[in-house]
Structure 1
Amino acid sequence: MESKENQKKRFYLKWPWNVLVYILLVVILRIFAIPVILLIMWWNKKQQPEGPEEGYCLQRTRGRLTGLIWAALVLIGGGLAIWFFMTAQSMPYEAERLKEELSFGYYLIPVVGVVAILVGLFLAYRSLRDALVPEKSALAQSIRAQLPYPDEAPAVKELFAMVDQDLKANGQWCGKLGVGKEWVLGDEVSRIPRIRGIFSRVEQHVRHAGKRTQVTYIYEIWIVDDRRERQVTSLRSKRELEDAMDCLRRRVPAAVFGTYDSKEYKDLVYAQEEEQQYAQERAYQQRKARFDEQNRREQERLAQNQVLTMPDGSVTSRITWDTIRQLLLRPSRTGESSPFQLVPGIPFQGQGYTFSRLACLPGSGQELTRILMEEDSGSPQKPGQYAWTRDVSTSEAETILRGWLQGEIPALDNWTHMERSGHTWQQTAEQN
């Protein structure tokens, strides 16, 4: 984690200046602006290693401005169709010839032109609405609709914060698809507890034009929720699609998995009878209960392979989540500092490192909780030379501790790398 002073030195184009610069580059350089724009986008992303400053959701809604390109193309096409028709009408001989060649299709030209203009205006409106008025965006509407009480949903800032915080704390990214423990963010958003089916779509389209053959691939994730609503996200490669399916299998194991347009997909999406829908929901709840029980047993097994050092110095290997949670909340009730630590029998591996100890200093009241994960030295008799630390809220600490009990290491992107200095720790030179 970098200091505030270092973060202030970072320079990148913020909204809306980045969009204005992109437009100016296109006007000046035209097609040659593409590599320059891509370079600027790469630089902006590099300068925000902990994720976009405005949040993933707001960045996604502002990205809808690219829809103006398609809107402009459709509007131009519609305008050209009407111009062609009006020009032909001004030349009677040409008009008669076109009527003979195109027959009824000749009179469809202005209709197609008007329809294209209306579609272009709608696309432009939707892009501008999502980018400039995020509270009315499709993304915000989707999040509201998936909450238990949509009519009582908070303002858009809090809506987006729910998804952003989950992705920052627990997110795994497969291309542009982010999978947290509560939300999945792609082209659309899905709430994990409501997911009932996940399907992959891989298609190859071949088009022949003269001597040229053009091959187009489609890679998509289709997520179906308990309302039979579908959220579709396009990915760039088969590898991204496979990684996304593997990640979702771990996060939503009770859901139905398959391929797009398969029997499982059709049975889930097109179920009309209440009895069929009830049977599907009951089967899902049974699978979920079975997986929850397996996870509980695995968590207990991993927890019993650890040693918990209590605030008073006593140790125990009989560890439950209730014990950890009581220790975490204890300072808020007593006002006293109550550090504790967890040491696994076999060091945990994750995020490219091996960890032998987690120390936790719970915060009281509004104070943050400090967590330190010590890297394994390779020898049981020798303490670790390096560690990672971070100050987090109580809810984030709960997530990290739950993961540790299951042998999971959180993403270290926004943690501070520390080096042992005597009996204390100091920030490593690479992060100073």
Structure 2
Amino acid sequence: MEHHSNIVPWQMLAQRVGAVLKYIPLKEDGTLDLEVYDSLLSDRTRLVSVVHVSNALGVVNPVETIIQKAKKYDALVFLDAAQSAPHLKVDVQALDVDFLAFSAHKLYGPTGVGILYGKEARLEALPPYMGGGEMIHEVKMEGSTYAGLPFKFEAGTPHIEGNIVLKTALDFMEEIGREALAAHEQELLSYGIQKLSEIEAVKIYAKDAPRSGGISFNINVAGVHSSDVGMILDKMGIAVRTGHHCTQPIMQFFGIPGTVRASFACYNTTQEVDALLEGVKKANMDKPVKKIEAMGNKNILLTERGYVFGYNDLIVDPRSFYDMRQIGYPVIFDITHSIRKYGIPSSDPNGGLRQYLPTLGRAGVAAGIDGLFIEAHPDPSCALCDAASQYDLYQLEEFLKPLIEIHELEKKYRETAVAG
């Protein structure tokens, strides 16, 4: 489950001193197999290094249990808290870890700053790993003596501005409150998992495991790579990470080249999660088209009617019209369903926002749609419909006239639009 940075250094050390590395395997649910962990521990175990929260899966490991088991064999414990420090309260004394490390840029801070915690006695026993200015007590031609903690590990000029910014970032987090930050992020995580789970083609990894920070998923359709999804989301202004996330062993375990990782922080909102969902649906759209084509049918229309599951307050992003058009088939805008409030009968005007229909129609045509879907009725209030969304049939001709004019104008200038 580890990030490469918690694998490669130990591999290099093992090669240098002849140590043997053993790994706690993953289970199919994305959690660590603690039964196997028990069998790996022995009186010869010198150190257990474990990640608190997986950067690739978001899984929160039961580090309390892992540490307690290691201590029974007097093994040292190193905790990789790069992903937990920004999202969880981490108490080094309660956990009884010997060493803990994390990076500043995960805490809204600067890049190039790392933090190492260690029990004082453990740090005192370690020799300096780098020589230079500021880490010495006295230098003579015959030899040198080193400064005390923490200076013996900080050779050279420190990252002054980075440390100042880190302090500001920590103050920012403390001002908001760690509990409030965690609660907000967990709310977004729960909402995101719930909504992504409603998309049949989406596979969420470690879906039911305790998690923090983010969601790792793929569109489980042949030919859809995580990087394809990432590029489509990027065009929509949605920032995700794709690929193996510096955790190739995890990807090898699941038999995949990579995943899409959506990460959440204090500044994210449920509206942004909704935008992510819309982007994922767009990324998945061209694959059903390919399936239909493979069956010999090329009479295809692509329809946009908005997002937010449940049909209430469906939102349409006009940028989708452009993206859908790139697939190569006519795009239809369903404005009837985009203004419905389901469950309210036609006789109740609150069940639909008919007043928006002319504006939505003109906006859609101007944005480049090829056709419009609209339901009409001679008396909309009497229509046998589950929402007040019918347009007055007798006003339909006047409704369509400006749309035809706008459509002709849009087609004339469609290819002259600035792109890129």
Query: Larger % of strand: which?
Result: 1
Q: Provide TM-score, normalisation by structure 1.
A: 0.26
Q: Please, what TM-score do these two structures have when normalized by structure 2?
A: 0.27
Task: Choose between structure 1 and 2: higher helix proportion.
Answer: 1
